[in-house]
Amino acid sequence: MLVLTRKEDESIMIGDDIEVKVLDLKESQVKLGIVAPKSVAVHRREIYQAIQAENAQAASAAKIDGISNLISR
Amino acid sequence: MGKYHDGAALGVRGCVRCARETAKGSWGATMQLETSRFGSIDVDPNDIITFTQPILGFQDYRRFVLLPGPSSYLKWLQSTDAGELAFIVMDPSVVVPDYAIGIRPAELSELAVTSVDELDVYTLVVVPEDKMKVRTNLRAPVLVNPKLRLAKQALLDHSDYPIQFFLAQPQQGQGQAREASNARSNP
């Protein structure tokens, strides 16, 4: 892993078109600003992982008999 | 039997056959797709939906077709790249009537639309053995531009919708059960 030290208002470039900037430092939190092309999806890692795990569960559904009955209309 | 039988029991094959008859009349060429749930089906290339952003974790599977499900608000999202890959998707407004997605204009342009109203919105359904745990992911809906057949899974970063919204109806006398369990699942 590449490790870089940055101060407030400093940034790093990833390739030519992705910039990650340190906007604010407060106690144990860092606020990051990210400038990236539209095609690059940027998400908090824990949300990303949770959705990926749920997607995997969704793909393994085999028996769906009767699930329509679970939904109240 | 197994998975194939589930599809047959739901009448999906029958519906696909109907669709095939229509397709033959209007388009001609269809492609054969071997699926684990529905056996061999004919797919009209004009029905294939291409994902501009993948269903997370399924980067290699970008092309799908929507097949009829067991009810009007449930459909199968069948991969045309892998016959064994299919998701059950639902119309989320059935369980959350005011379901609304807030996404950036850049994400709309990715699907070649200018308004959310032009999109069909589906959410993925998880069906575990325990039917009380059947749930849908309201946080990451699948958005489809039905005209151009472009789609993506959107992550609603700033929404409070849960990743796990349980569908099971509360028993009598436990009216708040669903709300309570869904509140707990909200990360």
- B10–A65 C-beta distance less than 8 A: yes
Contacts of B164 in chain A (CB under 8 A): 54
At residue B157, the pLDDT reads 80
Of the candidates B110, B46, B55, the one whose C-alpha atom is nearest the C-alpha of residue B82 is B55
What the block records as the tokens of B176 is: 């708040």
Q: Which of A3-7, B29-33, B141-145 has the lowest mean pLDDT?
A: B29-33
This prediction's pTM: 0.76
Cα dist. B168→A1, A19, B34, B131, B181 in Å?
Answer: 45, 44, 33, 7, 10
Higher-pLDDT residue of B185 and B154 is B154
- B110–A73 C-beta distance less than 8 A: no
Count chain A–chain B contacts defined by CB atoms under 8 A: 109
At residue B70, the pLDDT reads 84
Grade residue B10 by pLDDT with cuts at 50, 70 and 90.
Answer: very low
- B85–A67 C-beta distance less than 8 A: no
- B74–A67 C-beta distance less than 8 A: yes
Distance in angstroms (rounded) separating the CA atoms of residues B11 and B5: 10
Grade residue B105 by pLDDT with cuts at 50, 70 and 90.
Answer: confident
- Chain B residue whose CA is closest to A46: B187
A48: nearest CB among B56, B87, B167: B56
Q: In A, residues 7-36, which contact B (CB 8 Å cutoff)?
A: none
Q: Is the pLDDT of residue B3 over 80?
A: no
pLDDT, tens digit (0-9, with 9 covering 90-100), for B67-102: 998 888 999 999 999 999 999 999 999 999 999 998
- B53–A67 C-beta distance less than 8 A: no
**Length reported for chain B:** 187
A64: nearest CB among B6, B107, B187: B6
* CA distance, residue A1 to nearest chain B CA (Å): 23
Distance in angstroms (rounded) separating the CA atoms of residues B61 and B75: 18
Of the candidates B36, B85, B69, B63, the one whose C-alpha atom is nearest the C-alpha of residue B144 is B63
- Interface probe for A, chosen from B10, B12, B55, B56 (most Cβ of A below 10 Å), is B56
For chain A (73 residues), the mean pLDDT of every run of 10, in chain order, is: 95 96 95 89 89 93 65 56
At residue B154, the pLDDT reads 93
Contacts of B140 in chain A (CB under 8 A): 51, 54-55
Distance in angstroms (rounded) separating the CA atoms of residues B7 and B88: 12
Q: Which of A39-53, B23-37, B108-122, B165-179 has the highest mean pLDDT?
A: B108-122
Distance in angstroms (rounded) separating the CA atoms of residues B145 and B164: 25
Are B139 and B123 in contact by the 8 Å Cβ rule? The answer is no
Chain B CB within 8 Å of residue A45 CB:
no
Chain B CB within 8 Å of residue A56 CB:
yes
Q: Which residue type, as a one-letter code, is found at position A44?
A: R
The whole-number average pLDDT for the span B32-60 is: 92
